[in-house]
Structure 1
Amino acid sequence: MQRPHATAALACYTVLLLAALTACSSAPEADTRSPTMPRHVTAQAGSATSVHVMWEPAIDNKAVTGYEVYRKGEKVKSVAATTVMTDIDGLTASTSYSFTVRARDAAGNLSAPSAAATVTTPAPTPADHGPPTRPAKLRGSADGSRAANLSWGRSTDDVGVTAYDIYQEDTRIHSVPGTQTTAHLTGLRPGTVYTFTVRARDAADTSSPDSNVLDLTTASAPGAPASTAPTDLRITNRVQGKEYAIHLDWEQPDTGGAIPAYQLFMNGRLTTTIVWGSTPPQGRASYRLTVGDPRGTRYSMKIRAKLPDGKWGDFSAQRTVVLGE
């Protein structure tokens, strides 16, 4: 016959063993898988002492948290996961360099090094007395739901154009050598309005004025609802006493009902919510605001509608206005 104290001890041991097994089984599995290797790494000289490195995003079973750029096996730059390009400065003119990129995840796993991208910085150039001319006739088309193709006219410079930079809503997202006047953009989102401009850059890292603006809308994903972005946004401005009056008008989206309000973003920040004081307009809508900033101040502006279900819709294409112009 088993004694009472032995039975109690056995019961306690069993409980502790089960607790330990449960804790082990519920512990999260360690992330030991490395991200994929970044592909299509390119390097181009931005000037005699700087190089611009770009790559395509890597993939991870959890999430990529950043990228590391190496020169001859030595890390020279770390960037966030949302960044797939960077500039390496402080280099030497007329020198050959080789760069590789590795992706990093939250567990600290690093991908294999990418294929090396080599580049030779140019010799120091004569004094550059002005920026390149504006790239002309920017045009393009969406390539499915996640890519786009752009092309533009060649710029000129008193010394030479070294690169063309592609901007999306004032943020540089891609660069190509100065000998190239086309670009294939990837990593876009389905059913999204994109606003592109191009700037030429010379060896002194001086940029041209923006090209014309190009709006592109990527194809919607299968089964996705139609875009709710306002279209044909137009912006003008005029002097009004000591201030400037900015006038916006646009074509309203078809949302299946009246649109009670819009949000106006200026330079990427929510500035105001436009609420109609009476019955919402039909067809084109308009709004006017006044600002006290000096002549030459530049604003980037876009809007989005409040949908009948209370959610905010897609953004319009972005437009830029310069006070006094």
Structure 2
Amino acid sequence: MRRVVLCGWVLVLCCGCAGAGAADEGRGPGVPKGLTAEAGSATSVHVMWNAVPGAKEYEVYRGTTKVADVPGSSHMHDVTRLEPSTAYAFTVRARDGEGRLGPRSAEVRATTPAAVAADRAAPTRPGAATGRTAGSRAVQLSWTASTDDRKVVSYEVFQSGTKIHSVGGGQTATVVTGLRPGTRYSFTVRARDAADNLSPDSAAVRLTTAAGADEGLDTAPTAFRATSRTAGGAYYVVLSWVAPRVDGVVTEYQIQLDGQPATTLVWGGAPPEGTATYEFYVGREAGEEHRVRLRARLPDGTWGAFSATRGVTTGGP
């Protein structure tokens, strides 16, 4: 396997590498990708990252200080006891079952909002909570905004009473992935203000994921297109797509060409907003027909569903 950096992508050239992205034998775990930090209140920040295959534990750092050990089954943590109106930097490292500590993630920053003196008024209950299943492993939740005498800073999503995620105060929808097929779940949402006042729970949203082993249809990349390009007597397939909408950041994709894994792409920096593009070499013969599709590695570490399959002919449109 060989890694090449091209225009922000880290390209992993594979030969039958269906398992690309897993921790290599004899090496420590990989770098946590897709790290985000969102202020949850004037004294807390919610840090979230993409799961690292093979990780048994994560270490969360505020600056150079380790603030938490998180089990490998989770990939988020609320850093508390912070100062209001203060900028903080966070990183994460993964540790595998043999105790090997992987490299530090890229640094992300978040600034806590100002504290509001004598604010004891909680936000109103999030309204009209609803949801729908997205195949067997994901659900989409939405709600109407809460109101507060100051400002709603964040919304917290709970699964059967356990907090599983937090989103910014301007967001009123999210996608939860990493669920089990044919399983009944109950979700609620709370609003939090800068003074750490929590609203009452929203109405419970009860959903049962579909039976079977599908990867969650709404976890597939959308608007997928494939065309051919010629340069210097060689032919390239040009791809474009929109990342699936999931909690966290999608940084890795697998391209399948003619039914076989062709390449695994890892975004080397912040993924683009909107449409992503990529092209790769397929040969020097005109008129060859190919079928191509791709899928994303979701923030929970699992592969999402494949996009639609597109046909493309070298030398054609």
Quick one: which of 83, 88, 96 aligns to 1:92? 83
Offset, 1:125: 1.6
Offset, 1:37: 2.6
SS at match of 1:123: coil
Question: Greater CA radius of gyration, 1 or 2?
Answer: 1
Q: Tell me, in whole angstroms, the C-alpha distance in 2 between the residues paired with 1:189 and 1:117.
A: 31
What are the equivalent positions in structure 2 for 1:147-162 lying under 5 Å apart? 147-162=138-153
Q: Does 1:79 align with 2:70?
A: yes
| AA in 2 matched with 1:105 | D
Quick one: which of 42, 50, 54 aligns to 1:56? 50
Quick one: which of 26, 40, 43 aligns to 1:32? 26
Offset, 1:203: 1.2
Which residue of structure 2 lines up, in the alignment, with residue 169 of structure 1?
A: 160
Which residue of structure 1 lines up, in the alignment, with residue 104 of structure 2?
A: 113
Quick one: which of 163, 180, 184 aligns to 2:175? 184
| AA in 2 matched with 1:139 | T
SS at match of 1:191: coil
| AA in 1 matched with 2:103 | A
Q: Tell me, in whole angstroms, the C-alpha distance in 1 between the residues paired with 2:201 and 2:188.
A: 6
Cα deviation 1:108-147 (Å, max 9, x = unaligned): 1122222322111112223213111010111121222222
Offset, 1:47: 2.1
Which residue of structure 1 lines up, in the alignment, with residue 129 of structure 2?
A: 138
Which residue of structure 1 lines up, in the alignment, with residue 284 of structure 2?
A: none
Which residue of structure 1 lines up, in the alignment, with residue 6 of structure 2?
A: none
| AA in 2 matched with 1:91 | L
Offset, 1:31: 6.2
Which residue of structure 2 lines up, in the alignment, with residue 5 of structure 1?
A: none
What are the equivalent positions in structure 2 for 1:276-315 lying under 5 Å apart? none
Offset, 1:171: 0.5
Structure having the larger proportion of residues in helix = 1
SS at match of 2:127: coil
| AA in 2 matched with 1:211 | S
TM-score when normalising by structure 2: 0.56
Which residue of structure 1 lines up, in the alignment, with residue 38 of structure 2?
A: 44
Q: Does 1:197 align with 2:182?
A: no
| AA in 2 matched with 1:41 | L
SS at match of 1:39: coil
Unaligned runs of 5+ in 1: 1-29, 224-325
Asked if structure 2 preserves the Cα contact closer than 8 Å seen for 1:145 and 1:189, the reply is yes
Q: Tell me, in whole angstroms, the C-alpha distance in 1 between the residues paired with 2:173 and 2:34.
A: 17
Cα deviation 1:148-192 (Å, max 9, x = unaligned): 211100001112111101111000111101111111212111221
Q: Tell me, in whole angstroms, the C-alpha distance in 2 between the residues paired with 1:32 and 1:75.
A: 26
Asked if structure 1 preserves the Cα contact closer than 8 Å seen for 2:188 and 2:204, the reply is yes
Q: How has the CA–CA distance of structure 1 residues 222 and 85 changed in structure 2, closer, same or farther, with 3 Å as cutoff?
A: closer
Q: Tell me, in whole angstroms, the C-alpha distance in 1 between the residues paired with 2:69 and 2:117.
A: 33
Aligned length: 191
More relative contact order, 1 or 2 (CA 8 Å, 6+ apart): 2
Q: Tell me, in whole angstroms, the C-alpha distance in 2 between the residues paired with 1:40 and 1:127.
A: 36
Q: Tell me, in whole angstroms, the C-alpha distance in 2 between the residues paired with 1:38 and 1:150.
A: 26
TM-score when normalising by structure 1: 0.55
Q: How has the CA–CA distance of structure 1 residues 128 and 140 changed in structure 2, closer, same or farther, with 3 Å as cutoff?
A: same
Offset, 1:216: 1.4
Quick one: which of 109, 116, 121 aligns to 1:125? 116
SS at match of 1:56: coil
Which residue of structure 2 lines up, in the alignment, with residue 70 of structure 1?
A: 61
What are the equivalent positions in structure 2 for 1:201-240 lying under 5 Å apart? 201-222=192-213
- The Cα RMSD (Å) is 2.0
Q: Give the share of equivalent positions with the same residue, in percent.
A: 52
